[in-house]
Amino acid sequence: MGKPKFAFYWCASCGGCEEAIIDLGEDLLKVTAAVDIVLWPVALDFKRKDVEAFEDGEIDVSFINGAVRTEEQEEMVNLLRQKSQLVFAFGSCAHIGGIPGLANLWNKESIFERVYKTVPTVNNPDNVYPKTTTDINGNELTLPEFYDTVRTLDQVIDVDYYIPGCAPPPDLIMNAFTAILEGKLPAKGSVLAPEKSLCDTCPRAKSKPEKLAIKEIRRVHQVAPDPEKCFLEQGIICLGPVTRSGCGERCINANMPCRGCFGPTREVADQGAKMLSVIAACFGIENEDKISDEEVKAIVNQVDDPVGVFYMYSLAASVLRRRQMEQIKE
Ligand code: SF4
Ligand code: SF4
């Protein structure tokens, strides 16, 4: 029997998840000794036809990072699903939509208008926009369709496991590889990171009072945050209470609040909505489950970019999922 076959693929992402694999350092040599990498577009010259040539299920594990935004990405993740025994959503964008998911505040038309027309540095007098087919001297060139909506990987294909984080830290990646190679994976659907919230592991948790009382929401650049004190106590929104731990408190240790890249803990259905209710409680609103529309509005009005703050990573996976476009045209 040959070595297990691993595939790596990227969709709508920044490339940080690819860097995270490289960040394994010497451990990467152990991985490549133990498995055959059969697809890794960023590093190795395999083609789509190489994937198509595999029998269904012949690839042991595909690690897919990035959200799904284009027709090509949709086709590739469907192909990898068909050819793989296990599919891992790798990193925040595949897991919960990530930063690309914030584009769900717009649609294809408004994004193209901005990127190819109204950005001050763009000079496009002939209104040339990308098209799926273009005739060049009798030859047809094609581009994949750009969809209106960014989707998480599990909104497109069945996903077996999730490795969270922007980007996932090396120890969680190695734990996942080891669990695969030793046949010790948990139940299907598991997020391969601790169940505790970030507040439970945060070094500033001791300074977090039982009952937080915020008078004013402040942005991190408006103050010099006290590096010993809980951000929420300082009036700075930190998504630690609703975010899964396992990142090593990377942002907190850099004196930045958590933006929620690890996604919600198991008990939290909607990361942004739950954080809003946490903030409501900090404002002294006793029954956070019965927060009124006026109370929500009063809090949200203090935040310059509420979607960007409460749903920075999770908009595509949230109950909101995307903005209704009629509202943009108003
Ligand atoms: S809210 Fe943020 S700073 Fe405060 S304890 Fe939780 S993770 Fe730490
Ligand atoms: S502190 Fe929050 S945003 Fe920063 S890496 Fe950890 S989970 Fe992600």
- Alpha-carbon gap, residue 34 to 57, rounded angstroms: 19
**CB 208 near ligand 1, within 6 Å:** yes
Residue nearest to atom 6 of ligand 1 (CA): 199
**Residue 14, both tokens:** 């920044």
Q: What are φ and ψ of residue 133, in 5° steps?
A: -135, 140
Alpha helix (H) residue ranges in the chain: 16-22, 26-34, 48-52, 71-83, 92-96, 108-113, 170-181, 198-201, 250-253, 271-282, 293-300, 306-310, 325-329
- Distance between Cα 36 and ligand 2 center (Å): 32
Side-chain-facing half-sphere of 158: CA atoms under 13 Å = 8
pLDDT (tens digit, 0 to 9) for every residue of the chain, 330 residues total? 789 999 999 999 999 999 999 999 999 999 999 999 999 999 999 999 999 999 999 999 999 999 999 999 999 999 999 999 999 999 999 999 999 999 999 999 999 999 999 999 999 999 999 999 999 999 999 999 999 999 999 999 999 999 999 999 999 999 999 999 999 999 999 999 999 999 999 999 987 777 777 778 899 988 999 999 999 989 999 999 999 999 999 999 999 999 999 999 999 999 999 998 888 887 766 555 566 777 777 777 888 899 999 999 999 999 999 998 765 554
Q: Which of 162, 220, 258 to mutate to test the pocket of ligand 2 (most atoms within 8 A of CB)?
A: 258
Q: What is the pLDDT of residue 280?
A: 81
Ligand nearest to the CA of 260: 2
Residues with Cβ within 8 Å of 306's Cβ and at least 6 positions away in sequence, in order, are 300
